[in-house]
Chain A
Amino acid sequence: MFDVYMTFFKIGLFGFGGGYAILPLIEEEIVAKSRWLTNSELLDIIAISQITPGPIAVNGATFVGYRLQGVLGSAFATLGVVSASFLIVLVVSDFVIKNRELPWLEVIFSSLRPIVVGLIVSAAVSVGKTAIIDIKSMLIWLGGLGLLLNTRIHPILAIVLGGVVGVVLY
């Protein structure tokens, strides 16, 4: 049980970039080193992650933990992934909130912004490659974008609408 916790703590600790950037690390730890899952099981988890909410690291941790030790195992694995980020973010946020006025902190923030936009565009491109595959999905994307940018539609409503339109069209 402790092994499960520690392995996922490590994945949380070194999993920079989140999302799909974390996959090679999960593969290394869970498939190659611990042999807790086979490669095709990992692919199943990735497929499942696409249809369930939440970060892929949490999805993977819950699934692997359940496979190994049932519900308790999944709780430990998920806790492992979350506690690493929890500790790091707590320390950083405490520092940032207390030193909000430091000029160099402001410089760092303002230089991170365009990078964040670049990363978001890259994420949109990479998700878009698998999500926008035909005219119908292209229209759903444009329709969603139009609604989100021009109306005060709640993002959750947009997601639900997308699901309904998906059932009607596909």
Chain B
Amino acid sequence: MNLLKLFIVFFKIGSFTFGGGFAMIPLIKREVVDKQKWVGEKEFFDVISITQSLPGAVAINTSVFLGYKIRGVSGAAFSAVGVTLPSFLCILMIAAFFASIKKLKLVSAVFSGVNPIVVALITTAGIQVAKTIRWDVVNIAIFLLTILFVSILDIHPIIAIITLSMFSIVLKFLRKHYKKKGKQ
């Protein structure tokens, strides 16, 4: 597969990424997993799990990871440039003609309709990832704790990721341990 194709796919993804990286998950999945079949579904969600635990924007991280997996370092470079370029060009244009865009009523009407779709995309992403999980007691607890930490207690996501993943690993280990003991 050629680098140009990789660039075009990620340019397309970058052009329609509104409202942060999570909204883009269904779009990347459609392009990279369903259409191009560059990675499998399970692997794709593993990549999302890692890239959102690393510093930087999820959209860029995910494109670098997938680009590297598909075509090595140059693949990573082409997909990173592809995903970044639309945003770069848009802002450049707005920065050059800044005063006028804020007053455009049409733009604000368009986004009154786009924004709820962005929420629908994020919701879809949540459901897509949720479907790949075996929902046992530990996983349900960790899921609820994440929402408690981030949405209600306003704890920084990275702190939530670190503490809850360690907590989850310990819980799973203990459960396995006690199950074994019960059998003996």
Contact = CB atoms under 8 A, between A and B. Distances in A.
Contacts of A166: 109-114
Contacts of A102: none
A10 to B, nearest CB: 10
Q: Interface size bucket, B side?
A: 35 or more
A169 B109 CA distance: 8
Contacts of B144: 118
Contacts, number: 346
Interface in A87-104: 88-90, 92-94, 96-97
A153 to B, nearest CB: 10
B150 A48 contact: no
Interface string A43-68: 01001101111111111001100110
Instruction: Describe A's contact surface by its main secondary structure.
Output: helix
A155 B106 contact: no
Contacts of B91: 48, 52, 54, 58-59, 62-63, 66, 74
A41 B58 CA distance: 25
Contacts of A94: 68
Contacts of A1: none
Contact of B145 (A44, A47, A75, A118): A118
Contacts of A58: 57, 60, 84, 87-88, 91
Contacts of B12: 156
A155 B80 contact: no
Contacts of B17: 53-55
Given A90-B76, A118-B146, A137 B84 contact: no
Interface in B140-156: 140, 142-147, 149-151, 156
A119 interface: yes
B49 A15 contact: no
A116 B12 CA distance: 24
Interface of B: 12, 14-23, 25-27, 30, 45-61, 64-65, 68-69, 73, 76-77, 80, 83-84, 86-88, 90-92, 94-96, 98, 101-102, 106-127, 129-130, 132-133, 139-140, 142-147, 149-151, 156-158, 160-161, 164-165, 168-169, 172
